[in-house]
Structure 1
Amino acid sequence: MSPGDHGAQVEQLNAQLKTLETEQAELAKFQAADKERRSLEYTIYDREMSQTRDKLAQVEEERKKEADQGGEVQDRLVQARASLKALDRQLKQATAAGTDLAKQVDEANRAKKALVTRSAQAHVSLSEVLDRQRSSTQTQERCEKELQQLEGDIEAQQAVVDTALQALNDQEQRTSDNAAELTRCRKRLQDIYEKQGRSARFASEAERDAWVNKEVKGLQKVLSTKQAALTEAERGVATCNAALLQQRQVTGAKETTYKEKQAEVGACEQQLTALTQRRDALMDQRKAMWRENEEVQARLHELLDTKKRYEKQMDSAMPWDVRRGLEAMRRLVTQHAISGVYGTLIDLLDVLQQLYTAVEVVAGNQLFQVVVDSDETASRISQLLVREKAGRLTFIPLNRLQPRNTEYPTTWGSDALPLIQHIKFDAKLDPRLPLAFQQVFGKTMLCKDLDTATQVMRQAHMDSVTIQGEQAFKKGTLKGGYLDPTRSRLEASKRLQAIGRDLEGINAQDEDIRQRQAAVEQEMWRVLSDRQKAEARLDHLKGIVQLHKDAVQGARQAEAAAQAQAQGAAQRVTGLQANVQEQQGSIQELKAELGTSLLAQLSASEQQDFTDLNPRLKQLQEEADGMQEALLQAQTAHAEASTRLSSDLLLRQQRLQDDLAAADLPGLEAELAERQAEEAAAKAALAEGQGRAQELEAKAGEGRASLSELKGQIEQLKEQLATGDQSVQDEAKRMEALMAKRSALQAKRGDLEHKIRDLGTLPADAFQKYREESLPALHKRLTKTQAKLKTFGHVNKKALDQFQSFTDQRADLERRLKENDRGEEKIKELIGTLDLRKDEAIERTFRGVAANFREIFAALAPQGRGELVMHRRPQAERDSARDGDDSVVEKYSGVGVKVSFGAGETLVMKQLSGGQKTLVALALIFAIQRCDPAPFYLFDEIDAALDPQYRTTVAAMIAAQATDEHNPAQFIITTFHPQLILKADTVYGVSHTNRVSRVDVVTREDALEFVQSEEQHEGQGQATQ
């Protein structure tokens, strides 16, 4: 409003004031009646106001009760929904666990059946071994008894053989003596016959002697031959006896080796039994660890699923770039070994669960700010994040924190306490750590309710928060509403921390199980390898034992053969000795005949010998016949005894010994121990399997019961929710009715307040004058007063008020007129200053843009130049404009462009072609960009009207600007020409299929091929046209 308008208003008010002064006389009478009316109306209105206030207080009290009850119902509903959600998760987990338990029960039952079969097989095997042991024991007892009896028979039969042999030797000696005597007698008789015939045969003694000498020589040669044969036979006897002795030693050695190998077989069987038992024990350990590992893996998967759910909740509760920044920060801190990073506020603080909502609403996204020791650490991490384009973080460097000391009010006692007192943290990380929490939470009070929070906000001028998350800011604003406690970020963070600790324990347990499994597997492989070696060695030893057994039998047979050969050699020696003696006797008789007289008659002694020899020969022959028969009987007896000994008793002894060896009681004992161990292991495994099956059945039963209980609880909660929802609806209806009633009462109160305000200034006695009268009496008085006031209908009832009002308005207008005059001077002064600053800013910006334009145009159009020209208004035009109505006169009228493309002629925009105008426009855009850079630019086919050479320079300019060290920018360009494609970092192709557009990354070669095909297609189209 101009000063002239203010003056006109002041003159108009003075005229109205003069008119009102003439009406004051009648107004005095009217005012007296009007004062009475207003006093009565005020008293009536005040009574009604008191009643309305009482009703409002009553309604407000009922509303508060309903609100409290509704809040309790809402709290119960929230808790019920949270419980229902938790029970749903438990139900899913219990269902999954029940399914797993059912599978485990089936597996346990199948394993139990297999163990029953295994136990039965082990029992059958043990029974078979026991039967074989009993049979072998009986066989051993029988064989030992028979052997004991047989040994006596063999000893007795050996004595019989020895006796028969001695009798045979004696008879052979007697027979030999008889045969020698018979031979001697016959020889003597033959010699007598020959001597008796030599008297007729030889003519002289000399002739006889010559024949005797010749005969002696022949006999001596025969004797020498027989003596040599006898010597050879005696050496043969010695050799046979030595061979027999050696063979007996070999047989003994082989029997010893055979027994040693049998002992080795027994030891190997015992070792195999021990290894089998160890194998079974390791297999049981491995199965137990498998079951333990399954339980650990199930727990691990459950924790990982829960962790994933809370991580998803945390991801949705924080900005995307902050989440990326936190993930990258954790990786970079580990990768670059950065110290002094303490973590986010949400990870560092600890608070009661009831205060989660209050802490979250106060801190907001500050919960994800990272506390570091210094700004250097924050700067280093920030640089790494920027370099990798890995999100955004806000840091709290402790060395930069200097929070002010806050004096907390104590007026409200425990109803309002500093929030920082309820927050716990580990100050051992850094003594300055409390500063971070003081900065975030130090200026907020925790109040019991919103009313207390509002009082603290108004009186102490501090931010306040309630446990429910309602906030009262010191600037006077309130903030609140329903907050879903199931989406609490603090709850998710603490759960994630707890899950992390549980995962560490589970992973450690899993690693321990893996190590123990590896050790058991290694031990298992070692035992299996040793057992396989033991089995191979046992088979090898059994083969060796069989070979040694065969060798022992062969040695015994060889010993018997050697003994028979030795006996034959001894008999041959005996025969040769008799022949030698006979030859020696013949030689002696012939030598005795030498030198004797050649007589025709025998001598008396010879005749006597001749007479005695015949009966003697007959006697000897008879004796020889008897001796031959006795010798045959002795040989028969010896042969029968020897045959019974060797072919019966000794063979039976060998067979019994073989049966004893075949019984293999040590091996059976080892096998029995192994089978007993197997049966015990099978029984233990069966008992364990039955116990596990029963345990799993019990767990399954408990799971089914728990599942049924969970379903029942869920149904109860659903019923509670349904009831609660109905209660909420009922509460809402009652609240709506109360609110409607309160609104009506408030409207009535407002109407009464308005009526009281309309009464204006009341008389001094108006507040007490009619206080004791009843409302009917007041209304009666008011009726009379109103009738009296009607007589003053022609009076200007508001003359006094208007007079006072106009007087006040006049004073206010005069004051405002002075203020406007002072303000006008200040505004003109400010406009001059701002015009000067504007002109300076325009000149400075123009100079920067013009310099960039010259540089960029020269780069885009080689051998060309361009200038920006500022057009200024003439001074006369500016002066004439100031004399007019416009108070603002622009100094500049615009900007012009003058360019030259190398031809020497300077052109303006009107003289340029479309492609040249586009080039100039791009140069101007790039020039402005250098003065005021932006992070990215979007160009749509800016090279469509450019010549190929300018497309190349524009592409080079954009590429240089994109990689500029000081102001790098991102350019997103659509084009159908190859020049920009050759300079682009990434090329995208837009395709349209089934009315759906898709953008995909394509290779530069595909893009160039597409552009060339488009150009060829356009060329063909133009050629066709």
Structure 2
Amino acid sequence: MVYIKQINIQGFKSYKDQTLIDEFSPATNVIVGRNGSGKSNFFAAIRFVLSDAYTQMGREERQALLHEGSGSAVMSAYVEIIFDNSDGRFPTGKNELYLRRTIGLKKDEYSLDKKTATKTDVLNLLETAGFSRSNPYYIVPQGRVTALTNMKDGERLNLLKEVAGTQVYEQRRTESLKIMTDTNNKRAKIDELLDYIKERLAELEEEKEELRGYQEKDKDRRCLQYAFFHQEQEAIAEKLEEIDEFRQGGGDGDENRDAFLDGEKAIAQLDSRIKQLTRKMELLRVDRRQLEEDRRDTAKARAKIELDVKTLTANQSSTEQARVRHQQELSSVKKEIALKEAELAQLLPDFTSKKANEAEVKRNLDEAEAGRNRLYAKQARSNQYKTKAERDRFLKKEIEELNSTIGSQKANRIDGDEEVKNVQSEIRNLETEISGLQERLNGWSGNRIALAEEVSIAKDALEKLQDERKLLRREDEKLHSVIEDARKEVSMAESELSRTMDSATSRGLATVRRLKQQHNIQGAYGTLAELLEVEELYRVAVEQTAGSSLFNYVVDNEETATQLINALNADKGGRITFVPLSQLRSKPANLPNASDAIPMLSKIRYDKKYQPAFEQVFGKTIVCPNLTIAAQYARSHGCNAITPDGDTTNRKGALTGGYLNPKESRLQAVRALNKWRDEYETLKARQDEIRKELEQKDQEITAAYTQQQKIDQKMRQLDDGLDPLKSDLRSKNWHLERQRTQHEKLIQNQADNARLLKDHANKISDYEAEIASDFKKALSANEERQLEQLNVSVHELQKQWNEHSRIRRELESRKQSIELDLRENLRLKLDQLNSQEIDLVTGSGSVSNSVETKLQENERQLEDTESTIANLEQEKSQKEDEQQKIAVLIEKHQKRMERSIARKAILTTSAADCAKNIRDLGVLPDEAFEKYKDYDPKSIQSRLKKVQEALKKYKHVNKKAFEQYNQFTTQRDSLTKRRKELDDSQSSIQELVEVLDQRKDEAIERTFKQVSKEFAQIFRASCSSRSWSASHST
């Protein structure tokens, strides 16, 4: 038996918070409580879900059901009833059913088993379980029983009918009677239609005979017309074959055209070669001017060098003896320094290793001591505090203090790091300054010569920079000439490309290119012509297939296209067709799979992301070796076909082609423009780089000049005396020692700070672990073992640290001794000897000789280039004469071909008309193909005229008599079948009404008996000495 197992309420009337009421009995449950405890609201909640009340509620009624107590307002409420469905009363297949109703100010929703459901679904489910809408007495509210006992006899009878569910029977009986009425009306209409159809069929029987005569004559007419059109079609096909044979036989024209194209290519190559040599000659002239300038500068430098050589030769003998002594002493000092440095290099790895070992042992020692101290402290706390709470308060306070200390120490570490960096920077500065002062002091006697040498070096560096700047200026001058030529070529290429398109498209492409560069539009890719590469063999075919679509501009999506179109309109920058890739949807084309039909897309190279754009233009075109094969595939597969020479045909049979001027090639114009534009931009970028380098070189020259001035100033300062230098050196040495001492202290402080931070963190971890542990009066056995191990480790680590420290001090003492000897003695001597070394600077006239040689080579190259240009000009003139002759032959052949193509186009149109006329004849009888096959056209036309005259007699014949007769017959059969179905339906409905009347009576009788029985039992139980029975009269 199904029963309520659990109720969950929230926000409903007096139930603000979620209230869960469970453990209901499957038998009788009694809800008791004081007034105002929520009994009535609990009963209302059940009725709220089961829908015998609260069915049609407005906003105010829903709000009245929400909790209105103190606190925040309740915006929604729900009541959920969980039924025990063990007996499967609810057809859900589960042992429990969750039914929830949720309301708010603007909502009223149901859910079944945690899933949203409609009100109709809920009511239907409840009705299947016995909660009928027509019998709402499964809930008996307060006062209902009293009202029942006070009812009159008529009211009790109506109540019994309502409880028995007879209203459902009456409702269905009424619906059935209404259906019977509709059925009778439909039967009457069907009878009327059947009478009309019988009359019409009788009329059509007479018209059918007349139609048969007409059809015989019409069939003869179509046979004659087919024979006439078919003969005309065959005659046109023969003429087309003659034209194709003439075109295929035009070998001389093809040879002349190939020769002409080869000549055009040869002339273009010669023009390119002449331009290259002309540019080379211009560059050679520039080199000659620059070399002449170098020759004049070199002559002046050679005269100065010769004067310096004479001066140096006079002092050479005394200087040579000093040089020998100087070299011997210098060699001795270098050997001693090498020995010391080798000893120091051998010592340093060992010292570094020992120092690291010492630090590692010290760190382990500190950690072991810290761990031991923490255990001792924990042991002391176990005896110091009586309870866990007292110990934990102390530990938490210690953790707070340690966290505060850690924060302060981290701040101190940051300040300490900054201070270390400052001290290190100060030490580096002092060491640099001291090194400079020491060098000046130790080599004071030779500093004068050293400074003179620095002046010479600075001057050489300045001259070198000036020479480099001169070379850059020369290269800039050369590039200016080359860039100007490239700019002219770009202008010519743009002009050539513009002639292959209309002016609006030309201006549009120029504007889009400018906008793309200015705004860095990533989604603007370029025209189809710029995005593809194709072999020269298929270039003409690609151009003819695409036509002006070659200049369609490919973009990523419609947003980019809209942006560019708006900019074009705003600037009035021309017109262009954009192809947004995101909007293209390519469909597979029906292309033949044969060796003589090559898909054009397979011969084009492009990035795969542009696939939709190329499929749209080239996807339905194939390349065939000749026009005959192309026309066959075009007709059979409904595609476009083209030959490598550009002759095209489409699926409708139209042919286009003829001579194409190679100078008007769009793809070649695009390639030429891209080539010169890339070269121009590359040269321009190189020129910009050179000019930046010139600016940088000017800055370097200024810096070198400033450096030379500084060296001159140093030389003047050197003459001011030695005492200030020594005093400054002593002061800086003293300050450096103080800074080094301070640096060591700071490093040690940082190490101590890091160690303390780690120790504090370990303490916090131990304190937190101790807080989480139980309170014990002594250390655990594990902690006792750990303390014992730490005592042993501390003792061992202390011994190891002492030994490592001793070894490190010994190595450090040896290291400091070697470094002191190198720094304070040997290197000072080496610097002094190096500063006294004198080199003889010599010059020669080799530079001048080199310049003369370059000038001669330049003159020779100029003569060779001029001679080559003259030869090429002569060869070009001969090629142009040959081209003129070939062009005349091609023009004549072209005119003949054009006439044949025009005639072929007319014949193709006539053939298409014949095919259309044949198709218009419709489905022909079998005899049409053979009956008039051998008749001549005149005989066919004569017989056709007679047949057409005979057909005029049937002008008013009903040509659809057969069709109408069949339609009416079909309608008659259909209506007869429908009338029989209505008769069967009426019988079924009458039987249903009789059954409903019978069941209604049975339901009333059964319900009355049940009520009488139950009432008698209850009355007998309440009044044991009396008996009572109920009766009714029909």
Query: Please, what TM-score do these two structures have when normalized by structure 1?
Result: 0.39
Bigger-Rg structure (1/2)? 1
